[in-house]
Amino acid sequence: MNIRFPFLFLAFLLIAGCSDDGDGEVVVPSAPPKRADKPDPNERAVVQEEPRFVSDDRSIEEIMEDFAGSIDTFPMVDQGETVMKKNGRLYRRGLEDEPFTGTVVESFPDGSLSLSTTFYQGKPHGFQKRSFTNGEMAAEIFFDKGMLSGTRSKWWENGQIREEEYWSNGKFMGRRLWDEAGRLIREEIVPQG
């Protein structure tokens, strides 16, 4: 059997480059999260992975229960019809004696939806969703009476996850960043203590 030295050297480098942390367990990076609004019909059943982040904040269902009824029963107004007062609360123009509860939207010049934010008593509360001009989701944020809550997600225009920020009790807990191909490029976790 005639095996060349460069081939053996490459095989050695490959094996030597594999790390082992001593416990015999291989760590495989998890795939970036997929957007729930567009499931892949060709995708096979996925094993449920452990949550990346656990927040002490209220769930989105609990947050939305603060509204007396479905958010669809409250007014939906264009952002130009609102005014933010010095007290940090949003009001509807002409009805400035009561903080706004409902949905504020912003549109692209072609009329398609650019931004949708729900407000409760003048503060962002519930969903804030931003879209790209092509209709793809650009960002999704949850608020609980004006404070960021849980996971704040951003996507690239091609649909790949771009960033996740983690919030709990109004405090920044960390974030993960991905490139446009979906590869995790940075992870920052704030130490708890």
137 residue type, one letter: M
Buried b (16+ CB within 10 A) or exposed e, 61-72: eebbeebeeebe
The per-residue pLDDT for 170 is: 83
Q: Show the tokens assigned to 39.
A: 């499931």
- The three-state secondary structure class of 10 is helix
Of residues 1 and 45, more confidently modeled: 1
The per-residue pLDDT for 5 is: 40
Q: What percent of the chain has pLDDT over 90?
A: 49
Per-residue pLDDT at 13 exceeds 70: no
Of residues 144 and 21, more confidently modeled: 144
pLDDT band at 52 (very low <50, low <70, confident <90, very high): low
* CA–CA distances in Å: residue 106 to residues 31, 78, 130, 175: 33, 6, 9, 27
The per-residue pLDDT for 178 is: 95
